Amino acid sequence: MDKKEVPWSGRGHNYTKTEIDAVIEAMTQADPLTQGTHLAEFEKKFKHYLGIEHAFAVANCTNALDLAALLSGLRNGDEVIIPAHTFCATAIPFARTGAKIVWADIDPQTLVVSAETIRPLITEKTKVVVVVHLYGLMSDMESIMDLAKEFGLLIVEDCAQAIGADINGEKAGTFGDFACFSFHGAKNMSTLGEGGMLVVRSNELASPVLGLRHNGSRPYRGERDQYWKPAMSNVESDIDGIWPYNFCLGEIACAVGSTLLDRIDEMNAQRIARATRFIKAMRDYPEIVFQKMPTGFKHIYHLLAARFDSPKYGKSNDDFIRLMSTKYRVKVIVQYYPLYRYPLFIKNGFGEANCPNSDAFYDNMVSFPFHLWMTETDFDYMIHATRAALDELRR
């Protein structure tokens, strides 16, 4: 097979002509350019896609997590359970509240947290549990919601990597009290590089979101003779002691987001088909171990990550990654350093954890380039290169 190069890409997918036309239309016609009809349409279509009541478009998923952290009412002295194996944005908004982060371990086979890994961490101070559907595979939400009921906890689903994933048809983001989605440039669908959505289950917790999202900007109540006095709109916050933010997503991003929702399932289907092909092609290589998918779970493969189970051959994931990048020019990477190992978290008092599965996975992991715009020829080449590299490492 000809030698090629497969980069690690920061672009999850390309855009169709329909999506480009939607951008041009909004760019040339939208008035206003933020907080207008495209925002309303995007939120409406998103609510329909998930079958839920309250969704708020925001500038990114971190903002959605910030709002979930604020609305959870976390304070100094409270505890919040968060997976250690995830992107830092899952935890930073909760650290900011002053609550104590308690790190949850992943299940060694599914690579996401479970009711079993969360339960021993619950104390009288626990108020919130954040669950991350990492790489595109959901945690077992039914047993986690049972736990939430048993202990009276709020559940936040970090769905940044899981739009369209489901468990027996019940989509990611429809289980918890809050769900946070990302439309960052590398994600399964991107609103031009940045974007996010906050889903809130209860009417009560949803009602303050509009004020918090846009500098407390609210229409004045009641009729006014002179609409311009004292100003076009009022400034109010619905939660005492919390200053509002500006987390708005502009109209052009919303226009493309609405259009992308029409084909997110199709894009996910392409990812699933490719991942299935790759995993099958590695059948004779048990040293590459992929996430275990429980029955009824739909994995949407935001990423294609695996453990390089190397002791039998005395080789490490470093050996594999080095060979793949230097000889085959395929840029495999390692992701999600357990958060308690970062200086930022250690310095702030969150360096303690008992997460042997997170450590063991991180220390042996490999993550293959998996952007949707990769050509079929390059994808075939990556399969060929991976098998050849594994053969070589066995010698």
Ligand X SMILES: Cc1ncc(COP(=O)(O)O)c(C=O)c1O
Q: How far is CA 225 from the centre of its chain?
A: 47
Give the C-alpha separation, 81 to 155, whole Å: 10
Give the C-alpha separation, 128 to 148, whole Å: 9
Minimum CB separation of residue 135 from ligand X in Å reads 9
190 interacts with ligand X by CB under 6 A: no
Q: What is the largest CA-CA distance in the chain?
A: 85
C-beta of 87 vs 290, nearer to ligand X: 87
C-beta of 249 vs 323, nearer to ligand X: 249
CA-closest candidate to residue 165, choices 65, 53, 265: 265
C-beta of 90 vs 367, nearer to ligand X: 90
188 interacts with ligand X by CB under 6 A: no
| Contacting range for ligand X; rule: CB under 6 A; set: 2-10, 81-89, 209-217, 308-316 | 81-89
Applying CB under 6 A, which of residues 160, 197, 209, 304 lies at the interface with ligand X? 160
Helices (H), the chain: 17-29, 37-50, 61-71, 92-95, 115-118, 141-151, 203-206, 209-213, 251-261, 264-281, 317-326, 343-347, 356-364, 376-394
Strand 170-171: give its sheet, edge to edge: 170-171, 166-167, 297-298
C-beta of 22 vs 253, nearer to ligand X: 253
Applying CB under 6 A, which of residues 106, 111, 130, 132 lies at the interface with ligand X? 132
Applying CB under 6 A, which of residues 60, 110, 364, 367 lies at the interface with ligand X? 60
CA-closest candidate to residue 64, choices 93, 87, 43: 93
| Contacting range for ligand X; rule: CB under 6 A; set: 145-153, 155-163, 235-243, 342-350 | 155-163
Applying CB under 6 A, which of residues 82, 89, 200, 339 lies at the interface with ligand X? 89
Applying CB under 6 A, which of residues 46, 56, 87, 381 lies at the interface with ligand X? 87
Q: Tokens at residue 301, please? A: 């493969």
158 interacts with ligand X by CB under 6 A: yes
Helices and strands (DSSP H and E) totals, the chain = 14, 15
- Residue position matching structure tokens 């029409």: 262
61 interacts with ligand X by CB under 6 A: yes
Minimum CB separation of residue 96 from ligand X in Å reads 14
CA-closest candidate to residue 288, choices 260, 254, 324: 324
| Contacting range for ligand X; rule: CB under 6 A; set: 36-44, 84-92, 243-251, 338-346 | 84-92
Minimum CB separation of residue 63 from ligand X in Å reads 7
Give the C-alpha separation, 308 to 393, whole Å: 11
- Phi/psi for 302 (5° steps) reads -60, -40
184 interacts with ligand X by CB under 6 A: yes
Give the C-alpha separation, 366 to 347, whole Å: 28
Applying CB under 6 A, which of residues 110, 114, 139, 182 lies at the interface with ligand X? 182
C-beta of 160 vs 300, nearer to ligand X: 160
62 interacts with ligand X by CB under 6 A: yes
213 interacts with ligand X by CB under 6 A: no
Minimum CB separation of residue 336 from ligand X in Å reads 8
C-beta of 160 vs 330, nearer to ligand X: 160
Q: With beta carbons less than 8 A apart as the criterion, state whether 387 and 15 touch.
A: no
112 interacts with ligand X by CB under 6 A: no
C-beta of 90 vs 258, nearer to ligand X: 90
The C-alpha torsion from 340 through 155 and 144 to 130, rounded to 10°, is -20
Applying CB under 6 A, which of residues 110, 126, 161, 268 lies at the interface with ligand X? 161
12 interacts with ligand X by CB under 6 A: no
196 interacts with ligand X by CB under 6 A: yes
225 by Cβ neighbours in 10 Å (0-12 / 13-18 / 19+) ranks as exposed
Rg for the chain, CA atoms, rounded: 22
386 interacts with ligand X by CB under 6 A: no
Q: Which residues bind ligand X (CB under 6 A)?
A: 60-62, 86-87, 89-90, 132, 158, 160-161, 182, 184, 196
